[in-house]
Amino acid sequence: MKHIARSTLIIAVFFGLEKALGFVRNVLIARTFNLSNELDAFNAANNIPDLIFALISGGALAMAFIPILAEYRENKPKSEMWLLFSRVANGVFLVTALLSILIALNARQLVSWEIGIAPGFGADQQELVSDLMRLNLIATLLFSLGGLAIAGLQAQQHFLVPALAPSMYDIGSLFGILILAPAEPYQLGPITLPAFNMGVYGLVYGVILGAGLFLLIQIPALIKFGYRWKPDFKFRHPGVVRVLHLMGPRVLTVFFIQAVFIAQDNLASRLPTGAVTALVYGWLFMQLPESLIGTALGTALLPTLSEQISREDVPGYRSTLETAIRVLSGLTIPLAVILALNLEPIIALLGFDPEGTTLVLWTVRAYLVGLMGHSLLEVAARAFYARQNAKTPLFASGGALVAFLVFSIPLSIWLGAPGIGLANSIAFTLEALLLFYLLYRLMPYSPRLGKTLLRALGASLTGILLSLALNTWLVSGAAPFMSAVFATIILLLCSLLIIPWMLPEIKELLKI
């Protein structure tokens, strides 16, 4: 297998591990707290810390930093590359710490502000959100450094440890839900776990532990590749200036992306209890295939696209892009259909009442409408950043935010939480299509999508027929747990049937 296919597979496997651990974690959280004010508060409290992480290193810096590091790796001594890394890491730490202090001091205002996090919550719930947000900022500082470490390792074409790091976060979070949060101890076979009865605060302390593990697991790999930290604060160095120049527009781009999620919770806080949590679970279910396919492929492609541009290999860049479009389109369309048909028994494992299960199910389906768009966006944005063009994705993400606001307000009134998820799907799909159109204007390419889309339609119809038949035979009338098991088997079978339909695209990916 060529290195992109191999890297994509490594990332997808470990993303799958992380998603499996995350699913267990979220089932336990749902069964412990249900669709409650406390769980809505916990989910809403993540917004601002997530924004800081995404702006500084989780999204903004990584996208801007990897192309520069890849260029240094190709053209400069390793010592210069790692010195640049140290300077950027030092700046990330200082900026994240300062922002965390400012937000902690103003947490309550950010929550209750009319265009803030959760103006629709009651006073006690807003106070809980503020307290949890302050604690979450500790995890944000650790996550920011961990995100920077991921960028450094991925620039070395090393994907194993960065792909494993999110699972370390899940292990810490599981410690929080299994030991710190519960009032009654969990029984694992003959072992009785301790229970610290910390409630929703225990979830946050688990997040902090997970963030620490997320960072620590990457440090040995950085050392192996030659990194040694240096207390260097020369932020006017040309390399740092180039990173900041590319990062500036990316910061605004990520801000627009995160603003969509802040706006989602703002609108959901005005809906009945459980709407915020339904959006969180809806997004998590959609994120599983999106991460395994779109994020994995996009992450593996960025260093290669950056190196192709650095070598002025325009035909190779164009070919890589065309293959990615076909692979993502061909896989995500039938997967979205198959998931929408088979997820209900799995969602029922969360332990919500029938009304809550239905709410989450339709929210998931609304997000799945945008599965192809979100997956394509992972590659479209990276295609521009590989060219060290951050302004075009900035304008596109601003347009996506405007589109979301236009669609989400009426759809939230008409459809509730699923309407907000549908507005998200529409906005980000339009953004992906706009970016690929602009890439075409910049550098005409021909992804030859006709046959791919026909095969995707055939795979979708096959999946629908098989799902309906097997659901009638296996799932209907089965006990809840067995229904979920059978639904999972059906999902796997239907997903495997997609592969023969998409074999030409997969073979092209393996050649890259």
Average pLDDT over residues 363-385: 95
DSSP codes of every residue in 428-484: HHHHHHHHHHHHHHHS-----HHHHHHHHHHHHHHHHHHHHHHIIIIITT--HHHHH
Q: How far apart are CA 178 and CA 185, in angstroms?
A: 8
Per-residue pLDDT reduced to its tens digit, 157-215: 777 888 888 889 899 999 999 999 999 999 888 889 999 999 999 999 999 999 999 99
pLDDT > 50? residue 123: yes
The reported pLDDT for the residue numbered 357 is: 96
* Percentage of the chain modeled with pLDDT above 70: 97
Angle between helices 449-470 and 503-511 (to 10 degrees): 120
The helix (H) or strand (E) run that includes residue 65 is helix 60-75
The helix (H) or strand (E) run that includes residue 191 is strand 191-192
* 227 DSSP assignment: -
Per-residue pLDDT reduced to its tens digit, 390-411: 889 989 999 999 999 999 999 9
Query: Could you tell me the pLDDT band of residue 62, with boundaries at 50, 70 and 90?
Result: low
The helix (H) or strand (E) run that includes residue 188 is strand 187-188
pLDDT > 70? residue 472: yes
Helix residue ranges, H only, 343-390: 344-347, 354-368, 371-386
The reported pLDDT for the residue numbered 58 is: 59
Query: Could you tell me the pLDDT band of residue 452, with boundaries at 50, 70 and 90?
Result: very high
Q: How far apart are CA 205 and CA 135, in angstroms?
A: 8
State the pTM of this model.
Answer: 0.84
Per-residue pLDDT reduced to its tens digit, 228-280: 878 878 888 888 888 888 777 877 888 898 899 999 999 999 999 999 999 99
Q: What SS3 state is found at 322?
A: helix
The reported pLDDT for the residue numbered 193 is: 92
Q: What SS3 state is found at 13?
A: helix
The helix (H) or strand (E) run that includes residue 261 is helix 238-268
Give 118-122's long-range contacts (Cβ < 8 A, gap of 24+).
118/40, 118/41, 118/44, 118/265, 118/266, 118/269, 118/276, 119/266, 119/269, 119/270, 120/266, 120/269, 120/270, 120/271, 121/37, 121/40, 121/41, 121/44, 121/269, 122/37
Query: Could you tell me the pLDDT band of residue 1, with boundaries at 50, 70 and 90?
Result: very low
Q: How far apart are CA 482 and CA 486, in angstroms?
A: 6
